[in-house]
Amino acid sequence: MKIKRLNKILLFALIATMLFAVVGLSGCSPKRHRYSDPAISTELEIQIRQDFVANGFARSIESVVVAKYFGTFNDASIVIIGTGAASLAQWLEKVAGIEFSAPVYVPIRAWFFGNFYTLTESHSKNRLTFEDLLAIRDMNDTFWQG
């Protein structure tokens, strides 16, 4: 009698472990993917740099560098732009429960129709979906980890 009960307990433990593994692997938490770096066209890079100056973020196009291009999502080009004047403060932004960070203050910006927006603004304007944000987060983490 005790052996049957022990078998039932072991079977229950095995099933519970399998269910836990399946739930854990099924994506209940955001998955992290490795993405290849998309290439930015010369024309797009020049336009973004020109608009960065035109919007008053830098004085000259020569000082503006597109340090990272994440790709274009729903007509919004996602970039990190450097001007050589980055603050030593860490950059943090939380959008839809997803955290973005950089070791220096160089925020990720969304460029569309000649203007620049934060990730939060882009998400609220429905330019970036939750899935887009996850992909950008993963590419950003990979970028800063080297």
- Window from 24-28, 70-74, 92-96, 127-131 with minimum mean pLDDT: 24-28
- How far, in whole angstroms, is CA 12 from its chain's centroid? 40
Specify the pLDDT at position 104: 87
Residues 36-79 have pLDDT tens digits of 568 999 999 999 999 999 999 999 999 999 999 999 999 999 99
- Window from 8-17, 98-107, 119-128, 137-146 with minimum mean pLDDT: 8-17
C-beta separation of 17 from 123 below 8 A:
no
Task: Residue 116: name the closest of 53, 65, 63 by CA.
Answer: 53
Token pair, residue 79, equals 């970039």
Q: Is the pLDDT score of 122 beyond 60? A: yes
Specify the pLDDT at position 26: 36
Task: Residue 51: name the closest of 73, 81, 71 by CA.
Answer: 81
Mean pLDDT value across residues 72-95? 88
- Window from 19-33, 81-95, 129-143 with minimum mean pLDDT: 19-33
119 CB-side CA count, 13 A: 28
pTM score above 0.95: no
Where would I find the H helices in the chain?
2-25, 42-54, 119-124, 130-145
Mean pLDDT of the chain: 80
